[in-house]
Structure 1
Amino acid sequence: MPGFEWLGKEETKAVNEVMQRGVLFRYEFADQRQGVYMVRRFEEEFAAYTGASHALAVTSGSAALKVALAAMGVGYGDEVITQGFTFVATWEAILDCGAKPVFCEVDESLCLDPEDLKKKITDKTRCIVPVHMMGAQARINEIMDIAKQAGIPVLEDTAQAAGCTLKGKHVGTFGAMGTFSFDSVKTLTCGEGGMVISNDPELYQNASEYHDHGHDHKPVGRGNEGRRFMGMNFRMMELQGALGVTQLAKLDKMVATQRANKAALKEALARVPGVSFRYLPDEAGDSATFLAWFHETPEAATRFAGLLAEEGVPAIPWGKNTWHAYPHWEHLHAGASLAKSGWPFDRPEGRAEYDADALPQTDAILSRCLSWQIMLGWDEARLKHMTEVINRVAAAM
């Protein structure tokens, strides 16, 4: 999965050229930078790659979520529905906007369950945030239908799924906005960084202004007067933009490599009694950053994981994961905050409370789920060794 495996002379050259120009800031200094704007170029090329009309580069995937939610007008008094299997940044951004996250179950797609979504919508629901977890598609068409009927916009958290498509259409382009992460373990990496995409020019303009203290950037400048609203600083710098341009050129080959490596291991796992795989709305469009599978019981998953670890090829037991699984977000359940007022959990209308046992379906699914992160650097020898391990572990079960 991580693009850092393929960092090479192309990235070094691109970064060195930025350093030689001496401008790290994404705006201004036209003469000194010789008319070269790497962040702007990254945005233009990423928009073209995904098929979006607009793209805005920011400092991280977490920042992308915050900027997109702000652009959509999400704030205090609003509820935002998301899923109970995601990285903590999804709900942190919601809380940071002043809104309340409302958590949905996931199904065996390991993404938001449309049936539970229907139950969670209220008159306070301002936005729905499905997450394309682990490189594969959520049931986004079903989610979009439900959202359209309710008149609620969708923001796609596509942090882990750059290069993923559904029937040829890039995820992140189905909803009103989509967000991506380019941190150190993502397929396309800038070390840190993120992107917001949209086909809505008004939402894009809101995001563009908000991410840079309210400056309007019309047409491409900065510092114009007449700011419409306050913002913050979530600007990407030129070094990240240079890395992004270079890595984007490799993304299709990265995804193809991940798909080949995943297919080899999936074929071996498919022969293991009691193993089944996550539901993929479009297997051909999966970016293949992870191979996830289920055992019939939590006990079987735990035993299989233990045997894999003994063989030196440990799998991720999602039922015990503290970064992505709702039952283990102890700081959310405790309502822990640095604010002396208790914000954003303590509110004028009452405390926002989150019960660790509130998503039994998600807990049950994750307790049977294991996965491997698919690496770009695996060669035939590595894949053969992992296949042999699968065979030995299966025989020992």
Structure 2
Amino acid sequence: MVTRDPKLFERASMYHDVGSYERAGFAGADADLIVGVNLRMPELSAAVLRPQLAGLRAQIARRGRHRDIMLSALSDRIGRDLEPVPHHDPSHAAGLALAFPSPGAAAEFGTRRGVHRLIDTGRHVYTNWRSLRARNPLHPGFDPYAANGTEIDHGPGACPRTLEILARTCVVDLAPELPTPAFRLLASRTAG
């Protein structure tokens, strides 16, 4: 899209990547997050990424091994007071989320090392999306809120079931940087 709108250019020129709004010290530094933005990776970042891609398969494989270790350490609790969140491809899963029967049980488990309750992270929770609350599109011509023609509630109570699921769910860091024996020890302490 080519535009000659100086205000749009001014807004875009001070804009950071979406992830910057989750990093400490960056929140609200320049401009509000814009809904639907798709920024391209600069060449310098791509040059750094290329060598890192060489180790990606090994990292994913280690995550898979660590997932199996953690599930084994938690085996006596599975079906009793927690459940692994179903994965669309369990044999290739590289992450682990656990669902608990109550937010309190998840909060207690979330205090363990390498475990985070999803709602507590603040990331990916619609109640924290300033762009959604402020209805801040990239350009008025591409405003999904105006195009809809109806009032949409994006307030904290708009999706109570989503918030309830996030409050009952923890993610486990599978720590691919740790050697497998060290992760085995961490898993036994986490499960305990």
Return the TM-score normalized by structure 1.
Answer: 0.34
Cα distance per residue 1:19-44 (max 9 Å; x no partner): xxxxxxxxxxxxxxxxxxxxxxxxxx
Contact preservation (8 Å) 2:102, 2:168: yes
1:375 aligns with 2:175: yes
The 1:268/1:301 distance shift into structure 2, 3 A limit, reads same
| 2:110 counterpart (300, 305, 327) | 305
Q: Whole-Å Cα distance in 2 between the matches of residues 235 and 303 of structure 1?
A: 39
Supply the AA of the counterpart residue of 1:254. Answer: Q
Residue 384 (structure 1) shift: 3.1
Residue 86 of structure 1 aligns with which residue?
A: none
Structure 2: 5+ residue stretches without partners: 1-15, 20-32
Whole-Å Cα distance in 2 between the matches of residues 371 and 267 of structure 1? 16
Deviation at 1:333, TM superposition (A): 5.9
Question: Does structure 1 residue 386 correspond to structure 2 residue 191?
Answer: no
Alignment coverage as a number of residue pairs: 159
The residue type paired with residue 260 of structure 1 is R
1:329 aligns with 2:128: yes
The aligned residue for residue 281 of structure 1 is 88
Whole-Å Cα distance in 2 between the matches of residues 245 and 333 of structure 1? 34
What amino acid sits opposite 1:236 in the alignment?
A: P
**C-alpha separation between the residues in 2 aligned to 1:346 and 1:329?**
18
Q: Which residue is 1:204 aligned to?
A: none
**C-alpha displacement of 1:352:** 5.2
Tell me the equivalent position of 1:246. Answer: 51
391 and 317 in structure 1: CA distance in 2 versus 1, 3 angstrom threshold: closer
Please state if 1:363 is matched with 2:168.
no
- SS of 1:246's partner is helix
Q: Is the 8 A contact 1:322 1:329 kept in 2?
A: yes
Richer in helix (by share): 2
Shift in Å, 1:299: 1.4
Secondary structure of the residue aligned to 2:52 is: helix
Q: What is the letter of the counterpart of residue 156 of structure 2?
A: A
Deviation of the 1:265 alpha carbon: 1.1
**C-alpha separation between the residues in 1 aligned to 2:187 and 2:153?**
45
Equivalent residues of 2:66, 2:174 under 8 A apart: yes
Q: CA deviation at 1:318?
A: 0.7
Match of 2:161, as an amino acid?
Q
For residues 391 and 352 of structure 1, the distance between their equivalents in structure 2, rounded to whole angstroms, comes to: 42
After superposition, the CA RMSD in angstroms is: 3.5
Find the residue that maps to 1:377 and give its secondary structure. Answer: coil
Contact 1:335 1:353 in 2 (8 A): no
Could you say which residue in structure 2 is the equivalent of 1:318?
118
The one-letter code sitting in structure 2 at the alignment partner of 1:335 is A
Measure how far apart 1:387 and its partner are: 2.7
**Identity rate, percent:** 16
Which structure's relative contact order is higher, taking Cα pairs within 8 Å and 6+ residues apart? 2
CA distance in 2, matches of 1:333, 1:61: 16
Partner of 1:50: none
Offset at residue 283 of structure 1 (A): 1.0
Pick one of 38, 42, 46 that aligns with 1:236. 42
Separation in structure 2 between the aligned mates of residue 270 and residue 381 of structure 1, nearest angstrom = 18
Aligned residue type for 1:375: A
Give 1:23-172 correspondences, 5 Å limit: 92-94=34-36, 96=37
Q: Which amino acid aligns with 1:264?
A: I
Partner of 1:178 in structure 2?
none
Higher CA-based Rg: 1
Partner of 1:146: none
Query: Aligned runs of 1:189-208 on 2, under 5 Å?
Result: none
From the superposition, tell whether residues 304 and 346 of structure 1 become closer, same or farther in structure 2 (CA, over 3 Å). closer
Q: How far 1:368 moved relative to its partner?
A: 0.9
CA deviations 1:218-260 (Å, max 9, x no partner) are xxxxxxxxxxxxxxxx4621x3333232122222111111111
Q: Which of these residues, 46, 61, 73, is aligned with residue 268 of structure 1? A: 73
Query: C-alpha displacement at 1:294, in angstroms?
Result: 1.0
Q: Which has the higher strand share?
A: 1
SS at match of 1:357: coil
TM-score by length of 2: 0.65
Q: Which letter does structure 2 place at the counterpart of 1:293?
A: L
- 2:97 aligned counterpart, secondary structure: strand
